[in-house]
Structure 1
Amino acid sequence: MLRWTVHLRGGPDRAEHATVAVGSKVYAFGGHTVAGMAYMHNTGQSVTPTDAVNVSVFNTVSLRWMKLPLPLSSSASCVAEEGGGELPPPPDASASAAPPTATPPIAVAPPPVATAVAAAAPAPSRRWGHTAILIGGVAYLWGGYNYYTKEYYDALHAFDVDAHRWLRVQPKVSGAAPEARHQHSAAALADRGVMLVYGGRNRLTAFGLGEVARLDTRAMAWSRIDARGAPPAPPPPIAGSSHHPSAACVVGTRVLEFGGGGPARGGYSNAVRAFDADSNSWLTLGGGVGGVGSHRGPLPEAREGHSAFVHDGALYVFGGRDATQEFHDVWRFDPKGAWWKAVAPRGGGAGLGAGGGQGPAWRPSMCCCVVGDRVVLFGGYKGHSANMAADDLHILDLSPSLKTLSKMAVIRHGLKQQGLPHNVRWELAAMTTAG
């Protein structure tokens, strides 16, 4: 039984950010923040347009956030030394680091404080609507939009998650990069060292699924794929309109794509499409608006701005919105039988606010990462408001242990903790204290 086990407030506020999971940690890059939104809405908030994208790390063991002390500017002056860091060689598929298969144990001691690390390359500028994927210990960040400079980005950036530094990649990348854009989708075929990019929009163009950009991180080369079976390209964007990406997840050699769209682009979708990396073709699974084919079970409502993850070969979808409402439901899709099922995780666990470990409120544009048997969800817009980003974090436990259930019961019923071991009391405090 799925359970919401942790709800913490006080973390970094952001929406339309990008995340990767590395071991027991979640790295969050950039995104729309409260300060940035205040600047957009002329409230007098001071923001430097050339500030570097911020990087925050959530430790799922200590349940605490840490902001990395990276350069405050993305200008050339951020470079610590000529020559800088170099990209490490991608590992073999057999040596690829895999996330833990079980919930990592809670440490008794608090996490160490991060130390400053000199940047080996200029940090990318602040942005939102970008993507990040992980291949071989390197997070590749691509695309995005800077509201302050009105720039869309097409440069590739690489972040070493072990050394906590940006790496030089641009002189090494060959081939034509995809056209600059934001609100696109990206997926990693990590065992092949490949990143795929498709969809999204910029000021003049809305990109369809027919053209998929492929980055080979072993050769550091871009190439284009003319994908077969793609739906028609969407119409050009309308000034002032919004579009949030569909959610893309990898199952084997297929990239599963759910939903997406927008009111200015012919409506929203609740179809599941799959890009097959072996045949370079799109397949439609599960029917729905904007799709064909059959499915079993009730369909989730069409939406955009949702989050998705894969567990045990199934696709899970959370949240999102359409033109009139936000969602905070959870759906499970089995690609083998095209079977949809609404999932209702139980709550009432640890956390702040009414109800304890309740699931997130209605919202779009949050991020989620799978860490072992837990899913970390955080950020997003507070409802339809375009100037409020959430700072809370939720953990959905896909297979809660007896120990986790017992701690939830202690917190929910306000039981005395004096007789419990020190490490258990520390864990209970971490589960109920602002992050």
Structure 2
Amino acid sequence: MPLWTVHLKGAPKGQDQPAAVAVRHEIYTFGGSIFAAYHSYQIPVNVFNTVTLHWTALPPVSDRKGKRPRCVPSWRAGHTAVLIEDTVYVCGGFTAGGNICKSKPYAFDVDTHRWSQPRVSGTVPKARSYGAACALGRVMYLHGGYTLDGYFAPGVRSEVYFDIYDDSVYAYASDLHKLDTRTMVWSVIVPAGGQPPPPSAYHSTNIIGTKMFVFGGEGAVDEDEDESFHNHVRVFDTENLRWLNHSSTRLRPQAQRLYHSAFTWNRELYVFGSKRRKNPRHLWKFNMETFSWKKVHCKGKGPSDNWMCCCMVGDRLVLFGGYQGFDPVHDDLYILDLSPSLKMLCKLAVIKRGLEESGLPHNIRWELEAMTGKEHTRPTEKMEGTEKKEASEKNEATEKNEAAKKNGYDGPE
């Protein structure tokens, strides 16, 4: 049974709408809430190490004049990010001024931490935000989102929405594009058949095998507000370029889902959370073989926030950021272990029961401290010979001093 194992504070501010990818044992986050945009004029990049459970902010990049280079994206939210080999492609979004960003991707090298903006050709998608993107091999797929007008290619469904607050016209799209990163050529996918998803934004796309699963989202505002939100699954066959028709499932996640967290594990689609408040914090899984939903019961205390960002690292789901309504952006991070090991269960028992830790190996004590959010340092595996011995002696001396202080000894006068 899945188990909530870690709850930490201290996630970077502005993490309610970032884009994130998992790279080996680390999670890279890009951008986030535009309400925090006064901190920087360029997109912030933060890295969470799932081993040390520490966040690191990468330094901003500037040219000789101290300005943001053109190859570095501006601060944004509502954008997408996908990892293809050793490169993250960041696309779309909107800026603090409300400007919708172009769909020409920025490329971030996870090994060198360098930005670039590759030249692209073909039919570049319209500027958009809150679209959904995923990757299959060397190809990135981009679906839906909203733009500033409703003019699309023939046959593409869209829904136009007039915002009375800023007198702007927005269009929710249902178009599907792909970017082949080997040639950097964009192309429009014209499905050979099937029922496509309704025009949507704030939805999710995930790949299982060669199928793309589109779930949730929001369409143009309707008189019946519930009809504007979706909780249907649509499946696109990337080999035959068709939307697959399936009978509607009786059991679905309660409440229509947007701003939800979606991920795949063991060839099943999982959904957690939502902006909507009707039971959004339950975890649901979707089986692609039976085309059916099932509620997943988790042990432990999970998050109470919505609009959280998520990444899968091995068998663990990492959720962070988010906020509820107009509450301040939260700095919480949670880890859900979908297949907890015996070692993890033992560590949780030590924490829960307050058992004595002094007799445990140093690495285990360090992991326990990390799980509880205490200050900790871990001996690096790169230290050899004298350095490792000195580090061990230093740790041992520190522990003896702390034990002596507890016994009332304050050291030499």
Establish whether TM, by shorter chain, passes 0.5. yes
How far apart in 2 are the matches of 1:72 and 1:363? Answer: 34
Separation in structure 2 between the aligned mates of residue 47 and residue 58 of structure 1, nearest angstrom: 20
Describe the shift of the 1:202–1:294 C-alpha distance in structure 2 as closer, same or farther (beyond 3 A): closer
CA gap of 1:409–1:256, structure 2 versus 1, over 3 A, is same
1:328 paired to 2:281: yes
Larger RCO (alpha carbons 8 Å, 6+ apart): 1
The yes-or-no answer on 1:155 pairing with 2:109 is: no
Tell me, in whole angstroms, the C-alpha distance in 2 between the residues paired with 1:197 and 1:8.
33
- Aligned partner of residue 364 in structure 2, secondary structure: helix
**Is 1:137 aligned with 2:82?**
no
C-alpha separation between the residues in 2 aligned to 1:175 and 1:379? 36
TM-score, normalisation: structure 1: 0.75
Q: CA deviation at 1:203?
A: 3.0
What percent identity do the matched residue pairs reach? Answer: 43
Give me the whole-angstrom Cα distance separating, in 1, the residues matched to 2:66 and 2:183.
26
Asked if the contact 1:316/1:330 (under 8 Å) is kept, the reply is: yes
SS of 2:343's partner is helix
Structure 2 unmatched ranges of 5 or more: 151-170, 376-413
Does residue 406 of structure 1 match 2:346?
yes
Matched, 1:10 2:10: yes
Q: C-alpha separation between the residues in 2 aligned to 1:179 and 1:204?
A: 9
Shift of 1:23: 0.5
Aligned to 2:139: 194
- Deviation sequence 1:329-371 (CA, Å, 0-9, x none): 1001101001211011111xxxxxxxxxx2111412x211111
User: Pairwise mapping of residues 23-38 of structure 1 onto structure 2 (< 5 A)?
Assistant: 23-32=24-33, 35-36=36-37
AA partner of residue 304 (structure 1): L
CA distance, structure 2, for counterparts of residue 296 and residue 150 of structure 1: 40
Contact 1:15–1:33 (CA under 8 A) maintained in structure 2: no
Displacement of 1:318 in angstroms is 0.2
Asked if 1:379 corresponds to 2:340, the answer is no
2:46 alignment partner AA: S
Runs of 4+ in 1 over 6 A off after TM superposition: 73-76
**Distance change (3 Å), C-alpha of 1:174 and 1:23:** same
* Post-superposition offset of 1:10: 0.8
- CA distance in 1 between counterparts of 2:30 and 2:237 reads 28
Deviation per residue, 1:75-95 (Å, 9 max, x gap): 99445xxxxxxxxxxxxxxxx
Residue of structure 1 equivalent to 2:394: none
- Secondary structure at the counterpart of residue 6 of structure 2: strand
In 1, distance between residues paired with 2:177 and 2:66? Answer: 28
Q: Per the alignment, in what secondary structure is the counterpart of residue 141 of structure 1? A: strand
Equivalent runs, 1:154-303 vs 2, <5 Å: 154-169=103-118, 172-190=119-137, 193-205=138-150, 206-209=171-174, 211-227=175-191, 228-231=193-196, 234=199, 244-262=201-219, 264=221, 266-285=227-246, 293-295=247-249, 297=251, 299-303=253-257
- TM-score, length basis structure 2: 0.79
SS of alignment partner, residue 429 of structure 1:
helix
Task: Report how far residue 415 of structure 1 moved.
Answer: 1.4
Q: Deviations over 1:213-255 (max 9, x none)?
A: 1100001111111223344754xxxxxxxx8521211001111
> What amino acid does structure 1 have at the position aligned with 2:128?
R
What residue identity is the alignment partner of 1:257?
A: V
Contact 1:8/1:434, CA 8 A, preserved across alignment: no
* Residue pairs, 1:308-319, within 5 angstroms: 308-319=262-273
- SS of equivalent residue, structure 1 residue 65: strand
Report how far residue 418 of structure 1 moved: 1.5
CA positional deviation for 1:148: 2.4
Distance 2:177 2:209 in 1: 19
Aligned length: 349
> What amino acid maps onto 1:208 in structure 2?
A
1:368 matched residue in structure 2? 310
CA distance in 2, matches of 1:434, 1:180: 44
Q: Does structure 1 residue 424 correspond to structure 2 residue 364?
A: yes
Aligned mates of 2:31, 2:374 — CA distance in 1:
21
Q: Partner of 1:332: helix, strand, or coil?
A: strand
Measured after TM superposition, the shift of residue 412 of structure 1 is 1.2
